[in-house]
Structure 1
Amino acid sequence: MNTASPIERAGGVAAGRNSGSAFGNLVWAVATSDDKTLDLKGQISASFAKLERILARLKTDKRYLLSVNVLLSNLDDKQEFDIEWKNWVGENPNHWPQRACVGATLSSGTLIEISVVAAKVE
């Protein structure tokens, strides 16, 4: 008999994939802006807001982030992202996750994609 916790899933907007999943005390989530006409700052803000909604749906929040991978369509935008990141992640170093930021080829109009792993504290 399988005694493992069931997998929870947060639906996404594209067929064949979800925006988030949870298993046990771990949560995985990914976000991009739904509005590809926004500038970088707008897409960052929209992505953070989406992550917060997904994490909440899976019963956690950004205070429990463990790992974050940031994909930028233009790595030259990293300094601008870092400003928004510091405002979003907050000043408490006990809430700061490990983070990587890389340049990547993203889908048309997408300037940023953020993928996270968080703990679920019940």
Structure 2
Amino acid sequence: MQTIERVPSGHAGRSRSCAYADIVYTVATSADTSLDIVGQTHQALATLSASLEGLGSHTSRMLSAQVLLADMADKPEVDEIWAKWIGDNPQHWPQRACYGVDLGGRLLIEIIVTAARGATDDA
């Protein structure tokens, strides 16, 4: 039987990441909610990269991403940062959706990802 790997989030009742077989599930936010959308986006993406790598995956192995924004007016800025982060190779781009939601407090962005395990896809 396959073991489920869980990475604690530091919050009761939830994990930052989980992996089962060859699939990784992870979520990322910014630790510093005093930052603007640009700063929070960069922090969330850095956390996402580290979480994927920690479970044997990579940003090029992402299958699906959901970006949750507290203010949809921030989407163009987030899209620009995302495009630079994800790179120019369309073979590395996941399916992605973006939603406007009430994240509560001063949190401006949350990113949920499903990825395949494995090293960087260089295709």
TM-score between the two structures when normalised by the length of structure 1: 0.95
Tell me the equivalent position of 1:84: 81
1:108, 1:86 → 2: CA distance? 27
| Higher mean C-alpha deviation, range 26-35 or range 9-18 | 9-18
CA separation in 1, counterparts of 2:104 and 2:55? 26
Q: Determine the structure 2 residue equivalent to 1:66.
A: 63
Alignment partner of 1:15 out of 12, 20, 33: 12
**Paired position in structure 2 for 1:56:** 53
Partner of 1:102: 99
How many residues are matched?
119
- Report runs of 4+ in structure 1 exceeding 4 Å deviation: none
2:44 matched to which residue of 1?
47
Q: TM-score, normalised by structure 2?
A: 0.94
Match of 1:33 in 2: 30
Any unmatched runs of 5+ in structure 2?
none
- Structural RMSD (CA): 0.9
Deviations 1:73-108 (A, max 9, x none): 001111011000100000010000000001000020
In structure 2, what is the Cα distance between the partners aligned to 1:14 and 1:62?
24
Counterpart-to-counterpart distance in 1, 2:60 and 2:9:
23
Q: Residues 28 and 118 of structure 1 are in contact (CA less than 8 Å); yes or no, is this contact kept in structure 2?
A: yes
Maintained 8 Å contact 2:62/2:93? yes
Structure 2 residue matching 1:43: 3-state secondary structure = helix
Unaligned runs of 5+ in 1: none
User: Contact 1:20–1:30 at 8 Å: present in 2 too?
Assistant: yes
Contact 1:10 1:57 in 2 (8 A): no
